[in-house]
Copies of this chain bind each other. A is one copy, B any other.
């Protein structure tokens, strides 16, 4: 992976080649931004690239937008699909939509007919149900707003791709953070040894066990965007208060589920559990 320093010093064609695919089929973006070198940070490089997109002529922009693949399992068969797009769409799970898929593809067609370019969304920032929800809302939008939204989504997409292509200081902020913490409010100490599962849209995506500080060894999610969607933490506490005075059999709580939704993929989310023998509290912490 080239460093930012190397890119700042590279001949134009090397610079453009290094950024190939950060923007879909659009080497002109890097070519035009190159004149602004040197960039002090990767974020500044990204800003300069996006400035080229934003100031492109209407004709160039629409051509550029039209160079993006449709969001559809079908495109995975297209040999012209960029590797980045293939990876991103492959992880989305659109093929799991079942009956909804046909409806989604109808929406794709309707969207292109209405706006003149394909529906573009940064799929690494949303779960499939929220991609569908976004489609519904954006179909109801205006052409001006949709052009802005498409450019903003390309900003998210290219920011994530750039991080995989350049090494250097001042990386753009793309990561979210999700963690939890279990406090035993009956004993006045962290609750150790509680098994925790994290589900996203019904599928388990992480698990762990609280340590002596009542925390999992690592955050439940970090180093990537938190996909906008519905999550559920499940705290397995059936045995935690065994041998407790006045503990019931079966215990009052066995699994404590906490459902919540992520709205900001780059946000910092902390969802603690204050656990008593016959009560619990949760909140958005910090």
Residues of A within 8 A of B (CB): 130, 183-190, 213-214, 228, 230, 244-246, 248-257, 259-261, 263-264, 274, 276-286
With both chains docked as a complex, state the minimum distance between the C-beta of A179 and any C-beta of chain B, in angstroms.
Answer: 14
Copy total for this chain: 4
Q: Which residue of B lies closest to A267 (CB)?
A: B248
B252/A188 in contact, CB under 8 A: yes
With both chains docked as a complex, state the minimum distance between the C-beta of A212 and any C-beta of chain B, in angstroms.
Answer: 10
Main secondary structure of the interface of A (DSSP, over half): loop
Contacts of A284 in B (CB 8 A): 183, 185, 188-189, 252, 278-279
- Docked complex Cα distance between A255 and B259 (Å): 7
B274/A185 in contact, CB under 8 A: no
With both chains docked as a complex, state the minimum distance between the C-beta of A250 and any C-beta of chain B, in angstroms.
Answer: 4
Please pick, from B185, B246, B264, the residue contacting A279 in the complex, using a CB distance under 8 A: B185
Interface centre among A228, A248, A276 (most CB of B within 10 A): A276
B279/A280 in contact, CB under 8 A: no
Q: Which residue of B lies closest to A241 (CB)?
A: B186
- Docked complex Cα distance between A285 and B285 (Å): 13
Question: Nearest 3 A-B pairs (CB), nearest first?
Answer: A188-B278, A279-B283, A185-B279
Contacts of A285 in B (CB 8 A): 183
- Docked complex Cα distance between A213 and B285 (Å): 10
A186/B278 in contact, CB under 8 A: yes
With both chains docked as a complex, state the minimum distance between the C-beta of A56 and any C-beta of chain B, in angstroms.
Answer: 30
Please pick, from B228, B244, B276, the residue contacting A276 in the complex, using a CB distance under 8 A: B276
Contacts of A254 in B (CB 8 A): 230, 259, 261
Return 16 A-B CB contacts under 8 Å, by A number.
A130-B250, A185-B276, A187-B245, A187-B246, A187-B278, A188-B277, A188-B284, A189-B246, A213-B286, A228-B250, A245-B245, A252-B263, A276-B276, A276-B283, A278-B283, A279-B282
With both chains docked as a complex, state the minimum distance between the C-beta of A278 and any C-beta of chain B, in angstroms.
Answer: 3
- Docked complex Cα distance between A246 and B184 (Å): 11
- Docked complex Cα distance between A228 and B283 (Å): 30
Contacts of A252 in B (CB 8 A): 188, 260-261, 263, 284
